[in-house]
């Protein structure tokens, strides 16, 4: 919609063009009629400047519409009565009536008033006759029909624009709400990830520290000084591990090494559980043919650590078999089988371990399965999909496992993965 300045320019230019054409191209029969016609143009311009202009944009005073309509109707009627060419004044009167009226009802009603005024002026300006009545009626009917059609069309466009503006505002508000929800979701996911990290690293190490400390205290009370010293040395090492793990959670800066470091990390992790557990642990890596993506290494190490911890704490197993397979395309399988007491998989667990592993594997796009029967051992299987590659043949990281996870484990893999 045009602003006040836009309408100022239009009214000024069109009025000047009508006045010039009236004087030089289509002059009335007498100079008096020319003067009356010019006065009608002046009346219209003054009415616009004093009344109509301030009603172009809201807020609009209620009295301005009928006042301007009256002035415009009088100017158009007097002008059309003085000179037939003055019917051109309708080109200004009709759109201004629609803009200032600001509704379909007022636009149509105002257009009818302008058309009726022009009809009266054109029909009786040179004296009533059949020809003047026909000419005035034809002009009024066609101009009124055109004005109503254009006015309704423009009103529809204006309403469509307002509707789009409203929808855009609603969309913007919805996007803002979605962004807020995404931030909340991201914060929740980060809290869950930190919970898994703490459970898989510090919590397990500190739990082992408590166990070894209790053992050292019991051995000391029983006079087993050599055994107590050995246990104290183990406590010291586990405490150092806890310190390294806490630093890893904070640092998250080192890059994850490739396959050789992963294999060494797996062996060190198993060796740790061999030293401090009673079960015999066998490692089978004959199926390793390709390289693992660094995020896949993180997932498998976490799951292996949690599985061996569960075996040590709950299974009472005598033998554990760990099998790692890595395909040429990067697909990986981790299987941990024990001959322990087993459990009922249909019963919900009270711990975070299995559920944390399941969520971690799901985030990596893999599959997680636990098969167990009371008294017949447990088999835990983790399957990770092949590593995708981009157009240049470079491995694309698993998007659902964050780089922070990988960085933390990289620091850990330099020392001890447990």
Structure tokens at 411: 């620091």
Structure tokens at 282: 């066998």
- The answer on 295 and 162 residing in a single domain is no
Q: pLDDT tens for residues 149-201?
A: 888 887 788 778 778 888 888 888 888 888 888 777 777 776 776 777 677 66
Asked if residue 227 belongs to a domain, the reply is no
Top-confidence residue, 184 or 319: 319
Angle between helix axes 64-82 and 104-124 (nearest 10 degrees) is 20
Residue for token pair 């063009």: 17
- The answer on 158 and 267 residing in a single domain is no
Confidence at residue 334, expressed as pLDDT on a 0 to 100 scale: 92
Question: With bands split at pLDDT 50, 70 and 90, how would you rate the model's confidence at 248?
Answer: low
Asked if residue 197 belongs to a domain, the reply is no
Give the residue from 146, 170, 194 where a domain finishes. Answer: 170
- The answer on 275 and 166 residing in a single domain is no
pLDDT exceeds cutoff 70 at 418:
no
Asked if residue 64 belongs to a domain, the reply is yes
- The answer on 152 and 263 residing in a single domain is no
Q: pLDDT tens for residues 330-353?
A: 889 999 999 888 888 777 655 567
Domain of residue 290 covers 256-414
Q: pLDDT tens for residues 259-312?
A: 456 777 788 888 878 877 778 889 888 888 777 777 888 888 888 888 888 888
pLDDT, mean of residues 132-150: 80
Nearest-angstrom CA–CA distance, 1 and 14: 18
Largest CA distance in the chain: 137
Domain count, the chain: 2
Question: With bands split at pLDDT 50, 70 and 90, how would you rate the model's confidence at 415?
Answer: very low
Asked if residue 36 belongs to a domain, the reply is yes
Confidence at residue 411, expressed as pLDDT on a 0 to 100 scale: 34
Give the residue from 128, 146, 170 where a domain finishes. Answer: 170
Nearest Cα residue to 288 out of 326, 259, 260? 326
Q: pLDDT tens for residues 77-124?
A: 999 888 888 888 988 898 999 888 878 888 899 889 998 888 888 887
Nearest-angstrom CA–CA distance, 113 and 97: 10
pLDDT exceeds cutoff 70 at 401:
no
Whole-model pTM?
Answer: 0.44
With 0-12 / 13-18 / 19 or more C-beta atoms within 10 angstroms meaning exposed / middle / buried, residue 289 is exposed
pLDDT exceeds cutoff 70 at 371:
yes
Question: Residues 107, 125: contact at Cβ < 8 Å?
Answer: no
Question: Residues 262, 292: contact at Cβ < 8 Å?
Answer: yes
Confidence at residue 64, expressed as pLDDT on a 0 to 100 scale: 92
Residue 345 sits at φ, ψ, to 5 deg, of -70, -20
- The answer on 261 and 124 residing in a single domain is no
CA of 272: how far to CAs of 9, 149, 151, 265, 340, in Å? 88, 88, 85, 11, 19
């Amino acid at each position: 919609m045009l602003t006040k300045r836009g309408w100022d320019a239009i009214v000024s230019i069109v009025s000047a063009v009508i006045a010039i054409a009236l004087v030089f191209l289509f002059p009335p029969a007498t100079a008096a009629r020319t003067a009356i016609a010019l006065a009608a143009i002046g009346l219209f311009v003054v009415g616009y400047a004093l009344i109509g202009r301030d009603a172009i944009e809201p807020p609009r005073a209620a009295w301005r519409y009928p006042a301007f309509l009256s002035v415009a109707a009088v100017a158009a009627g007097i002008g059309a009565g003085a000179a037939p060419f003055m019917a051109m004044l309708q080109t200004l009167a009709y759109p201004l009536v629609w803009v200032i009226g600001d509704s379909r009802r007022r636009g149509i009603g105002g257009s009818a008033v302008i058309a009726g005024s022009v009809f009266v002026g054109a029909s009786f300006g040179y004296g009533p006759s059949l020809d003047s009545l026909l000419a005035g009626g034809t002009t009024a009917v066609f101009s009124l029909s055109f004005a109503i059609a254009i006015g309704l069309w423009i009103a529809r466009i204006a309403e469509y624009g307002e509707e789009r503006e409203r929808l855009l505002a609603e969309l913007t508000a919805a996007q803002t709400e979605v962004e807020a929800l995404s931030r909340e979701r991201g914060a929740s996911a980060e809290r869950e990830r930190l919970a898994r990290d703490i459970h898989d690293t510090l919590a397990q190490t500190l739990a082992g520290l408590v166990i070894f400390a209790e053992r050292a205290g019991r051995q000391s009370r029983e006079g087993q000084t050599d055994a107590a010293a050995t246990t104290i040395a183990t406590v010291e090492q586990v405490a150092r591990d806890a310190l390294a793990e806490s630093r890893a959670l904070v640092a998250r800066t080192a890059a994850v090494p490739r396959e050789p470091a992963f294999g060494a990390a797996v062996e060190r992790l198993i060796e740790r559980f061999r030293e401090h557990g009673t079960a015999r642990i066998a490692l089978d890596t004959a199926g390793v043919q390709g390289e693992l993506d660094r995020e896949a290494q993180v997932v498998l190490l976490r799951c292996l650590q949690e599985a061996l911890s569960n075996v040590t704490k709950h299974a009472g197993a005598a033998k554990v078999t760990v099998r790692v397979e890595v395909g040429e395309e990067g697909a990986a399988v981790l299987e941990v089988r024990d001959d322990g007491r087993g459990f009922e998989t249909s019963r919900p667990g009270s711990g975070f371990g299995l559920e944390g592993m399941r969520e971690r594997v799901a985030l990596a796009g893999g599959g997680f399965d636990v098969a167990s029967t009371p008294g017949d051992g447990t088999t835990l299987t983790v399957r990770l999909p092949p590593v995708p590659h981009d157009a240049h043949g470079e491995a694309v990281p698993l998007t659902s496992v964050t780089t922070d996870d990988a960085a933390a484990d990289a620091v850990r893999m330099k020392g001890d993965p447990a």
